[in-house]
Amino acid sequence: MNVGVAAVDGSTSNTAVGRMRLQFWRDAVASAFDGRGRPPAEPAVVLLARAVHVDGAPLTKSFLLRAIAAREAYLGCAPFATLDALEAYAENTYGSLQYLGLEAYRQRSTVLDHVGSHIGKAAGVAAVLRGVPVLAAGGGGGGGAGAVVLPLDVCAECGVRQEDVLRRAGGAPGLRDAVFRVATLANDHLITARNMLDGAGEAATGAAFASFLPAVCPPSPRRWLA
């Protein structure tokens, strides 16, 4: 479901249409949790309804709705006003997914929630950074026009101008410094999560750790081919 929600921005150049599509997902989530009617014939929604009403998964609807609302707030590749705003976006999207993953494994713990929060923030910030070259090249929403979504306060501090990024791509003055500053935030959250895992003992093993696997770096292609 997260894939479908995340794809809305990149599949439409009209924010009004994007909001309509997100409203579909919002209504679909409500229908899946309601259980009094048949949910839309969307595979992810059907599976969600089954997980809640047949499998008895203790999922929290508000986490899904919060992720949708966060995506909606930045439709049209709107830039983040501050680094704190980017961090909040990462918490509301990828952090919410971490909480849902813990719930799916029936893991409830304040410590695990804190670990999930830090992993979610790290993953969300990293996802935004991965999208910077794609969006700058016009590969996102906004009718094919390029966009720079790096936090405006970081861009100002590092002397990054949007028009320079759009014209010169990776050669834009200050871009490396801005990316490093944002990447440092993600790395700090990942380090904190690792330290908390080390101190969590058995509470962070087994099913709980499985929900944190998105934070594990995959081997490089060379190692796979060796």
Could you report the per-residue pLDDT of 106-122, keeping only the tens digit for each? 988 888 999 999 999 99
Radius of gyration of the chain (CA): 19
pLDDT tens digits, one per residue of 166-191: 888 778 899 999 999 999 999 999 99
Considering the domain architecture, whether residues 15 and 119 belong to the same structural domain is answered as: no
* Number of domains, the chain: 2
Least confident of 37-51, 62-76, 114-128, 183-197: 37-51
Task: Say how far apart CA 185 and CA 177 lie, in whole Å.
Answer: 13
Task: Say how far apart CA 112 and CA 202 lie, in whole Å.
Answer: 11
Of 76, 97, 116, the position where a domain reaches its end is 76
Considering the domain architecture, whether residues 100 and 197 belong to the same structural domain is answered as: yes
Considering the domain architecture, whether residues 51 and 101 belong to the same structural domain is answered as: no
Q: Is residue 61 part of a domain?
A: yes
Mean of pLDDT values over 50-60: 93
Considering the domain architecture, whether residues 207 and 95 belong to the same structural domain is answered as: yes
Q: Are 148 and 169 a contacting pair, CB within 8 Å?
A: no
Q: Is residue 175 part of a domain?
A: yes
Considering the domain architecture, whether residues 139 and 31 belong to the same structural domain is answered as: no
Domain holding 205, by residue range, is 78-216
Q: Is residue 198 part of a domain?
A: yes
Chain centroid to CA 105:
20
Chain centroid to CA 88:
10
Of 54, 76, 98, the position where a domain reaches its end is 76
Of 76, 104, 125, the position where a domain reaches its end is 76
Average pLDDT of the chain to the nearest whole number: 88
Q: Is residue 34 part of a domain?
A: yes
Considering the domain architecture, whether residues 105 and 159 belong to the same structural domain is answered as: yes
Considering the domain architecture, whether residues 26 and 104 belong to the same structural domain is answered as: no
Q: Is residue 226 part of a domain?
A: no
Q: Does pLDDT of 225 surpass 90?
A: no
Q: Is residue 173 part of a domain?
A: yes
Q: Is residue 223 part of a domain?
A: no
pLDDT, greater one: 182 or 215: 182
Considering the domain architecture, whether residues 151 and 132 belong to the same structural domain is answered as: yes
Does the model's pTM come out above 0.75?
yes
Torsion over CA of 158, 88, 207 and 64, rounded to 10 degrees? Answer: -140
Q: Is residue 59 part of a domain?
A: yes
Task: Say how far apart CA 76 and CA 105 lie, in whole Å.
Answer: 35
Considering the domain architecture, whether residues 105 and 172 belong to the same structural domain is answered as: yes
Considering the domain architecture, whether residues 71 and 82 belong to the same structural domain is answered as: no
